[in-house]
C-alpha cells in the first residue's frame, strides 16, 4: 500500500467563519489534519468550539470558506453535489448523537438503506445488512422498528448502517452522548472493534475524555485550531 493509498483524509489550511449580525466569528482557522487507514482520532473541545462544524466540513456536508479537504483522493471542491453524494455513500459512514433512523422501517431496512441507494439488489443487500446487525448483537431485533428498541439498541443499528458499505472513513459525532454509561461503553467498544475490523479510519467527536484517550490520537479544538491536549 502506497502512502497515498493509506491516507484516507487530508485537510489543509481549513477555515470557516459565521456572520451573526454585525459580528463575524472564526470557528475554524487554518486547520490541518491527516488520517491514515485504520487510524482512530478523537477530537475534544468545549461546547460551541466548532467540533461538529469540522466534522460536517470533513464529510462534505458543508463547505469551508478556504482550504481543501480530500477524502480517498477526491477534493470536495472538485465534485458537484450529485458527485459528492455518491462519494459520501461510497467512502464515508456517519454516526450521530441521535440515531436518525427512519421510524417507519425495521432495523434491517434501515441498515440496508445505504446499499439500496447504490441500487444494490435486495437479495444481495439483505444478507449483508443482517450480518452487520448480528455483529452488533441485534440478530433478534431485525424486524423491530426504532420505537421498539432501546436507546443503546437504536445506536447499534445506526452503527451497523454506517458500516454496511465498508467505508474508508467513519465520522462519529458524540455517538455515546445520549446514552447511559453502560450503553455508551458498549457502543464505543463496538465502534472501535468494527472500525478496526473494516480498517476504517475514524474521527470521533466527544466530550468524554476517557473515551477519547482510548483512540490512537487525541486533539483538542480551541480558538479555532486543533491542538494537542494539555499534558
In tens, the pLDDT along 111-130 reads: 999 888 888 888 989 998 99
Task: Give me the pLDDT at residue 68, please.
Answer: 92
Closest CA relative to residue 30, chosen from 15, 10, 46: 15
Q: Regarding beta strands 169-173 and 92-96, do their DSSP bridges make them parallel or antiparallel, or are they unpaired?
A: parallel
Gap between the Cα atoms of 212 and 15, Å rounded: 24
Q: Is the dihedral angle over the CA atoms 151, 152, 157, 160 positive or is it negative? A: positive
Task: Give me the pLDDT at residue 11, please.
Answer: 93
Give the rounded percent of residues in the chain with a pLDDT score beyond 70: 96
The domains located in the chain, with CATH, are: 38-61+80-227 (3.40.50.300)
Mean pLDDT computed over 57-74: 90
Task: Give me the pLDDT at residue 218, please.
Answer: 92
Contact 209, 176 (CB under 8 A): no
Spatial neighbors of 93 by CB under 8 A, at least 6 apart, are 161, 162, 163, 165, 167, 169, 170, 171, 200
Q: What are the tens digits of pLDDT across the range 130-176?
A: 988 988 888 888 899 999 998 888 888 988 898 888 889 999 888 77
Distances (CA, A) of 230 to 16, 52, 58, 147, 209: 24, 21, 25, 41, 12
Confidence of residue 45 (pLDDT cuts 50, 70, 90): confident
Contact 163, 86 (CB under 8 A): no
Contact 2, 52 (CB under 8 A): no
Gap between the Cα atoms of 187 and 54, Å rounded: 22
Task: Give me the pLDDT at residue 43, please.
Answer: 92
Average pLDDT, the chain: 86
Which residue's C-alpha cell is 479510519?
201
More confident residue, 95 or 201: 201
Closest CA relative to residue 220, chosen from 209, 26, 76: 209
Task: Give me the pLDDT at residue 21, please.
Answer: 67
Confidence of residue 4 (pLDDT cuts 50, 70, 90): very low
Q: What are the tens digits of pLDDT across the range 202-220?
A: 999 988 888 888 889 999 9
Amino acid at each position: 500500500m502506497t502512502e497515498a493509498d493509506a491516507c484516507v483524509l487530508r485537510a489543509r489550511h481549513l477555515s470557516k467563519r459565521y456572520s451573526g449580525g454585525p459580528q463575524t466569528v472564526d470557528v475554524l482557522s487554518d486547520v490541518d489534519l491527516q488520517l491514515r487507514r485504520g487510524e482512530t482520532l478523537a477530537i475534544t473541545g468545549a461546547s460551541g468550539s466548532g467540533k461538529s462544524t469540522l466534522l460536517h466540513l470533513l464529510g462534505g456536508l458543508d463547505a469551508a470558506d478556504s482550504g481543501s479537504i480530500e477524502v480517498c483522493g477526491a477534493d470536495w471542491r472538485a465534485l458537484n453535489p450529485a458527485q459528492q453524494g455518491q462519494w459520501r455513500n461510497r467512502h464515508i459512514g456517519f454516526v450521530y448523537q441521535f440515531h436518525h433512523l427512519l421510524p417507519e422501517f425495521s432495523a434491517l431496512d434501515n441498515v440496508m438503506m445505504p446499499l439500496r441507494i447504490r441500487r444494490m439488489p435486495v437479495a444481495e443487500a439483505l444478507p449483508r445488512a443482517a450480518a452487520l446487525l448480528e455483529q452488533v448483537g441485534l440478530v433478534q431485533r431485525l424486524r423491530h422498528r426504532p420505537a421498539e428498541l432501546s436507546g443503546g439498541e437504536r445506536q447499534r443499528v445506526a452503527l451497523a448502517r454506517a458500516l454496511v458499505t465498508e467505508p474508508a472513513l467513519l465520522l462519529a459525532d458524540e455517538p455515546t452522548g445520549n446514552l447511559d454509561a453502560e450503553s455508551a461503553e458498549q457502543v464505543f467498544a463496538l465502534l472501535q472493534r468494527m472500525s478496526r475490523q473494516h480498517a476504517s479510519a475514524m474521527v470521533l467527536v466527544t466530550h468524554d475524555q476517557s473515551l477519547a484517550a482510548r483512540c490512537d490520537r487525541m486533539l483538542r479544538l480551541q480558538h479555532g485550531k486543533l491542538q494537542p491536549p494539555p499534558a
